[in-house]
Amino acid sequence: MVKTSYLEASRQALAEEMRRDDTVWALGEDLGRGGVFGQYKGLVDEFGPERISDAPISEACIAGAAVGAAMMGTRPVVEMRFSDFALCATDEIVNQAAKARFMFGGQLGVPLVMRQPTGAWRSSAAQHSQSLEAWYAHIPGLVVTAPATVADAKALLKAAIRCDDPVIHLEHKDLWAFEEEIPAGIDAAPLGAARIAREGEDVTIVTWSKMVHTALEAANALTDKGISAEIIDLRTLWPWDREAVYASVRKTGRAIVAHEAVLVGGFGGEIAARIGEDLYDQLKAPVRRLGAPRIPVSYAPPLEREYHVPAERIAEAAQALAARG
């Protein structure tokens, strides 16, 4: 076991995949100086500017070049700096990368990874703090990953790079410094497989990314109330692991879906609807959704805190569900 950070694990994942496969390369703004968060630190020294490629300040240009390069047989890793900035490349992501395999009758794929640092973080304000995973999960042809742990920061990035379809890889900015021990030599994780972050009997909490840690905090508090919460870390939003979620909900009879993104139109609505449709006769209480209010993320710390879903809200929802049935 080796103690490392979420950021360092992702840096290692890219370096190891570039050593393993010389068709893997990275492009984006400021990569030569290590990236805006340091997630590319030292890589240009090992691989050179041809494979750690600095690009102009044009997300559409970056994404378009990556789509073309992926079609021609390479595996680009695109750095968007912030998930918000990827909106400048929406056509390249949604109309080109996601649809190319279908449009060409399966004759080619677009094996690219688009890394998007996501989530609210340290007063980054409305244009640098969004969680837009529901948009990408909505688009046929895209794979969407959202690692919550250091191990998955490495294992899911490796899996994304090896995937033959375009992957939107969402890395929460507030997790970059998070540290934990992971196995040495960790390899790619299977896409579409959830993880039971904590076993429980009374209520299932389905979540992903940074909210996994918030849910675990809530579960600890619930223990003092005599409530046992099971935490499901989806890891991959598309495809998402219905079997794991359903198995947990069948056991507990109660479900909460929690995410940092705005509640209205959030991906939690899809999961809640599926649970309600398929397991309606096994539920002891209605499925609850928790998410952010439909407001821009404020620069002011007190207002930014109002955007977040704290552990206390998750615990209160779990208590209310546990009291039913």
Mean pLDDT by 10 residues, the chain (325 residues): 94 97 96 87 94 94 96 96 89 96 93 94 81 96 98 98 98 94 92 98 98 98 96 98 98 97 96 97 96 91 90 96 86
Phi, psi of 297 (to 5 degrees): -80, 125
Q: What is the dihedral of CA 316, 322, 323, 325, to 10 degrees?
A: 150
Dist. CA 131–CA 112, nearest whole Å: 21
CATH architecture of the domain with residue range 195-322: 3-Layer(aba) Sandwich (3.40)
| 2-182, CATH topology level | Rossmann fold (3.40.50)
Single out the residue of 290, 283, 288, 287 nearest to residue 325, CA to CA: 283
pLDDT recorded at residue 190: 95
What residues form DSSP beta bridges with 251? none
Q: Tokens 């103690």, residue?
A: 3
Integer-rounded Cα radius of gyration of the chain: 20
Single out the residue of 239, 242, 252 nearest to residue 283, CA to CA: 252
Under 8 Å CB-to-CB from 44, ≥6 apart: which residues? 31, 32, 52
pLDDT recorded at residue 128: 83
The residues assigned a catalytic role are: 128
Dist. CA 252–CA 318, nearest whole Å: 11
pLDDT recorded at residue 126: 80
pLDDT recorded at residue 37: 86
pLDDT recorded at residue 202: 97
What residues form DSSP beta bridges with 229? 203
Dist. CA 51–CA 105, nearest whole Å: 30
pLDDT recorded at residue 18: 97
Query: Where are the CATH 3.40.50.920 domain residues in the chain?
Result: 195-322
Dist. CA 93–CA 89, nearest whole Å: 6
Query: Where are the CATH 3.40.50.970 domain residues in the chain?
Result: 2-182
CA-to-CA separations, 7 to 36, 55, 293, in angstroms, rounded = 12, 22, 29
